[in-house]
Structure 1
């Protein structure tokens, strides 16, 4: 007995006039996994999700959701699927609870019976009777997740759920997605931030200008990542550069803003130890980009081949 993929998209292409928004991409999401679709703005992520939800039709390729397709099953393709494209919208003059009640009435089934449960899942129980107009952006995003969970979905689709959030909001959204994934729910999310998905996704597709720049696991991605870089300020930069000669695996470049150090983490640590032993004072030692962030920009940069 075979288990249908949660999402099985093959050869998808979508054009808007002369613009090819999505160019022959394939994405397979297994039940129970957290899958990330990454890319800069304009990479084609939202267009892909719109095709998944049936909001637009692909010019070529097929999409199956738990074995169902729009061509054969119509709206039933979305049975067991919930989520939002871009930012969720609510009536600002109604409370969070009232908005959810209205959506539950429209959805039917046992959605009304899940209202208190979903409010608790997204940590909005204490603010459920406040008007949505007074919610922060992060609270509205979490209310959007609550509205999606009313359907008790098997697949939750989130389009850049942390976009526009402050650091605390990003932390809360990341923790929420982790909890949902831990419950066995399949999650497909898009993002343009590598660190947003690094800790929670099993597999990722990185898009650039509508094409696939990378397809694979987070572990595969880490194996491709370049050495980490650090901004280094010392009390004696010329001597710090000279001492790097004893560490061939480390590269130290002197610029207007100070020193930039790159190399394997163990080699960089040994180099820093040499500086300390030599009496060179360290004023600051700051990561520039994480290795995965650096790789993300390499893969999606307009001047780099996919």
Structure 2
């Protein structure tokens, strides 16, 4: 692998008056990986991406893209970089293909010759002659990815690419990113959805209120994540809670039923215990995934809901 990092952001800080939007963060993305910058709304993700694109300048710190900086190379720092911040915009009365032709004309080079290729990559070949005003939000997101790919980039930057998409749109965007990554393209994306990032990213930076609270691989995150939490409802929750504690499971009452957390084999054993005790099981559902639970632990100071009640009851801290 090339030793030059695709993105090398070191000690970046950006303030707006009394507000520190990005506070001394370091993000390093290797070439060829899919990297996620994860955090709730207001965490500083988009501010970081705006600095990467040169739309705003950091107050402190350094930022290089493939070894080039805005300070030393100006707009040349973005050679080989493409993407969009927030939602991409197009001329609604023009077709998808016509919008791409206009953008290709601005880019020059061989961009126009790539239109058919990128339309096929994002799955819009059959809708290329339809006006963009008739596109769904997901189709516009995919057209945004197509416009970025016209540049044949080495680094593709996507800001909340699945935001606002329905489940089918999220699946399509996830599949697209995987296909692009398989070609060796480096992908940097921001998201507030741990489940989305878990399925497509190699490494992740998690942010909260402008600061980094975690760097690492998805595999390392899984090792740190708590056990899966379940919600159980029965005809005798008090007795079910006793049986759960007897198996060493963490237990807390919630609005309906019990929240329990522990190894899956012990949860399975609890269900058998409940049935053997003659208690009717009315419901068994999974709460947030272990990685989602860890994400909330890292980014929320005052969480609410079943898992929060469980943490409060068992002394866990987020």
Q: Which residue of 1 aligns with 2:77?
A: 77
What is the correspondence of 1:1-306 to structure 2 with a 5 Å cutoff? 3-248=3-248, 250-302=249-301
User: How high is the TM-score relative to the length of structure 1?
Assistant: 0.96
User: SS at the partner of 1:260?
Assistant: strand
User: SS at the partner of 1:199?
Assistant: helix
User: How high is the TM-score relative to the length of structure 2?
Assistant: 0.92
In the alignment, the residues of structure 2 paired with residue 202 and residue 239 of structure 1 have an alpha-carbon distance, to the nearest angstrom, of: 43
User: SS at the partner of 2:22?
Assistant: strand
Summarize the Cα distance change of 1:136–1:261 in structure 2 as closer, same or farther, 3 Å threshold: same
User: SS at the partner of 1:188?
Assistant: strand
**Number of residue equivalences:** 305
Summarize the Cα distance change of 1:129–1:275 in structure 2 as closer, same or farther, 3 Å threshold: same
Q: C-alpha deviations, 1:205-255, integer Å up to 9, x for none? A: 00011100101111111111112111112233233223224312x123333
Q: CA deviation at 1:279?
A: 3.8
Q: C-alpha deviations, 1:71-106, integer Å up to 9, x for none? A: 111111111000000000000000000000000000
Q: CA deviation at 1:10?
A: 0.5
Q: Which residue of 1 aligns with 2:314?
A: none
What root-mean-square deviation, in Å, do the aligned CA atoms of Structure 1 and Structure 2 show? 1.7
Q: Which residue of 1 aligns with 2:308?
A: none
User: SS at the partner of 2:200?
Assistant: coil
In the alignment, the residues of structure 2 paired with residue 212 and residue 256 of structure 1 have an alpha-carbon distance, to the nearest angstrom, of: 34
User: SS at the partner of 1:253?
Assistant: strand
In the alignment, the residues of structure 2 paired with residue 69 and residue 134 of structure 1 have an alpha-carbon distance, to the nearest angstrom, of: 40
* Contact 2:85/2:158 (8 A) holds in 1: yes
Summarize the Cα distance change of 1:146–1:2 in structure 2 as closer, same or farther, 3 Å threshold: closer
In the alignment, the residues of structure 2 paired with residue 284 and residue 303 of structure 1 have an alpha-carbon distance, to the nearest angstrom, of: 27
In the alignment, the residues of structure 1 paired with residue 271 and residue 289 of structure 2 have an alpha-carbon distance, to the nearest angstrom, of: 18
Q: CA deviation at 1:182?
A: 1.3
* Contact 2:236/2:279 (8 A) holds in 1: yes
In the alignment, the residues of structure 2 paired with residue 113 and residue 2 of structure 1 have an alpha-carbon distance, to the nearest angstrom, of: 28
* Contact 2:245/2:251 (8 A) holds in 1: no
Q: C-alpha deviations, 1:117-146, integer Å up to 9, x for none? A: 000000000000000000000000000000
Q: CA deviation at 1:271?
A: 1.5
* Contact 2:2/2:31 (8 A) holds in 1: no
